[in-house]
Structure 1
Amino acid sequence: MNNSSAAAQPYVPLRLAGRPLTLKLVAVALGTLFLAASSWIEVPMFPVPMTMQTFAVTLIGALYGWRLGLATVLAWLGEAALGFPVLAGGAGGLAHFVGPTGGYLVAFPLAAMLVGWLAERGWTGAGRILSSVAAMLLGNAFILAFGGLWLAVVIGLADAIAFGVLPFILGGALKAVLATVTVEVYRRSGAKPAL
Structure 2
Amino acid sequence: MHHPAAMNHPPSFSPLSLSDQATHWKMIAVLVGTIVLAVSSRIEVPMYPVPVTMQTFAVTMIGALYGWRLGGITVLTWLGEAAMGAPVLAGGAGGLAHFAGPTGGYLASFPIIAALTGFLAEKGWNGGRVWLAFLAMSLANVLCLLIGASWLATFTGVEKAIVLGVTPFLIGAVLKSALGAVILRQWTRYKAV
Fold conserved between structures, TM > 0.5 = yes
Q: Residue 157 of structure 1 aligns to which amino acid in structure 2?
A: V
- Deviation, 1:185, is 1.4
**Structure 2 letter corresponding to 1:141:** V
Query: What are the residue-to-residue correspondences of 1:5-24 with 2, within 5 Å?
Result: 11-24=13-26
**What is the number of residues matched between the two proteins?**
184
Contact in 1 for aligned 2:127/2:187 (Cα 8 Å) = no
Decide whether the 8 Å contact of 2:127 with 2:181 is kept in 1: no
Counterpart amino acid of residue 157 in structure 2: G
Runs of at least 5 residues in structure 2 that lack an aligned partner in the other structure: 2-10
Percent identity between the two aligned chains: 57
1:97 aligned onto 2:99: yes
Select the residue among 34, 40, 43 that pairs with 1:41: 43
Shift of 1:125: 4.3
Q: For residues 13 and 103 of structure 1, do their structure 2 counterparts lie closer, same or farther at Cα, with a shift above 3 Å needed?
A: same
* Aligned pairs for 1:147-166 within 5 A: 147-166=148-167
- Corresponding residue for residue 107 of structure 1: 109
- Matched to 1:94, the amino acid is L
Q: Is the 8 A contact 2:49 2:164 kept in 1?
A: yes
- Contact 1:10–1:121 (Cα < 8 Å) also in 2: no
Query: Contact 1:148 / 1:165 at 8 angstroms: preserved in 2?
Result: yes
Determine if the alignment matches structure 1 residue 30 to structure 2 residue 32: yes
C-alpha RMSD of matched pairs (Å):
1.5
Letter in 1 for 2:166: V
The Cα of 1:181 is off from its aligned counterpart by 1.1
| Distance of 1:97 and 1:136 partners within structure 2 | 23
SS at match of 1:190: helix
Q: Distance in 2 between matches of 1:18 and 1:187?
A: 16
Q: TM-score, normalised by structure 1?
A: 0.91
**Gap regions ≥5 residues in structure 1:** 2-8
Q: Assess, with a 3 A threshold, how the Cα gap between structure 1 residues 18 and 76 changes in structure 2: closer, same or farther.
A: same
The higher-RCO structure (CA 8 Å, 6+ apart) is: 1
CA distance in 2, matches of 1:15, 1:142: 26
